[in-house]
Amino acid sequence: MIPKKLDEISLSDLRALVTDQAREGKTLEFKRDQIGARDDDKREFLADISALANTLGGDLIVGIEETAGQASAICLLNVSDPDAEILRLENMLRTGLEPRLPRIDVRWISDPTGGGLIVIRVPRSWAAPHRVTFRDHSKFYARNSTAKYSMDVGELRSSFNSRESLPTRLRDFRMERLATISANDGPVALNEGPVAVFHILPLSAFTDPITISPNEQTLFRPVRATGFNYLHTLEGFATYSGREDAESSRTYTLAFRNGIIEAAAHVGRQNEDRSVIFPDSVEGALIEVVDSYFEQLQNMGVEPPFYVALALVGIRGYSLHTGTRRFFDARPSIRRDALILPEVFVDEPRPNTVTFLKPLFDLFWQAFGYQHSYSFDGTGRYIGDR
């Protein structure tokens, strides 16, 4: 795979592959000619793409000739309508694989003298294994360091088991972290009381973990913190609010070396007559930072898909403070100690914040007795606690 975001790849990057005699491998494949219209051409294309998705993901570049597995020449494609060609390839993938690929990106890169190349970026699929079904072909493919191949029974069993066990592994990780935070054994001690815990969980962390090196140059700032400190930890790198010599902190964010992000923040307040959680301390706090978290992950080479998750611990006896609406008078305090909301799947590099967070916020309010989150207006715009 070319180590750049797809929209940042230039013609010079593709020419450099030839100059450097880049080799095909598990995440990179070259095709000299435009994908043809014959059935054999279509089956070959579907097999190539599914093999990448079923293995580690990668880039298929159409318009580069290879010799003995090495890029040897640029062979510009003569395509009169690149948009129509991209649509043709996408339709082929939509109808020729089962299950459908969750996501795929195709880009035309033109040459000033005419013609161009096609780069197809295939993420590692969370729904693997994918089967080629075009014209009843019915085969599964994967890639090794040199080429694609048909998966055997053992590999298929392992792939299906991996897909089925993913929800369990996600849940186990979250339960372990929530237990750690409930015991106040995180990277820094948090103030006593309810804690909201937000996780960004890259699929790669549970399938083919990469190793990143978070440090003071790649900070994930803690939620609702104007100033903060940082420290290296066993798991990775943490930022936290408050002074270095403080006994506890209000909030921290921990970047794990496998790309997982954990943001934890104290969210409760005890008054004389009741204990309350302010919705904005959960909703508004996350909306402020989540875009920067995704951007920083992308900059560090952690690619989608992601799972995002929200939980609250230590909340028994608390109710929501709903500002001027005064709804809390009719709602009893919550009777559970922990609220663990289901994971949400995100397959976009820069997802729309409201689109994927609002369903979590609706569940958050429903757990406290309300129909939905009242922090959004009729157009879906976040307006906070008013």
pLDDT of the residue at 385: 65
* Residues 6 or more apart in contact with residue 271 via CB below 8 angstroms: none
pLDDT of the residue at 325: 52
pLDDT of the residue at 326: 47
H helix or E strand, kind and range, residue 288: helix 279-299
Residue 250 DSSP symbol: S
Contact at 8 Å (CB) between 241 and 227? yes
Regions of the chain short of the pLDDT cut 50: 326, 328
Q: How far apart are CA 13 and CA 56, in angstroms?
A: 22
pLDDT of the residue at 328: 47
3-state secondary structure of 279: helix
Q: Which of 200, 194, 224 is nearest to 212 (CA)?
A: 200
Report residue 143 CA to chain centroid gap: 23
3-state secondary structure of 293: helix
Architecture in CATH of 6-151: 2-Layer Sandwich (3.30)
> Does the reported pTM lie above 0.95?
no
Is residue 253 left, alpha or beta, with left meaning phi > 0 and alpha meaning psi from -120 to 50? beta
Sign of the torsion formed by the C-alpha atoms of 147, 66, 5 and 381: negative
Residue ranges of domains in the chain? 6-151, 164-367
**Residue 24 backbone dihedrals phi, psi, to 5 degrees:** -65, 155
3-state secondary structure of 236: strand
Q: How far apart are CA 294 and CA 275, in angstroms?
A: 33
Contact at 8 Å (CB) between 71 and 168? no
List the beta bridge partners of residue 74.
Answer: 64
Q: What is the pLDDT of residues 239-287, one digit of tens each?
A: 999 887 778 899 999 999 999 999 999 998 887 678 889 899 999 999 9
Report residue 233 CA to chain centroid gap: 23
Q: How far apart are CA 44 and CA 291, in angstroms?
A: 39
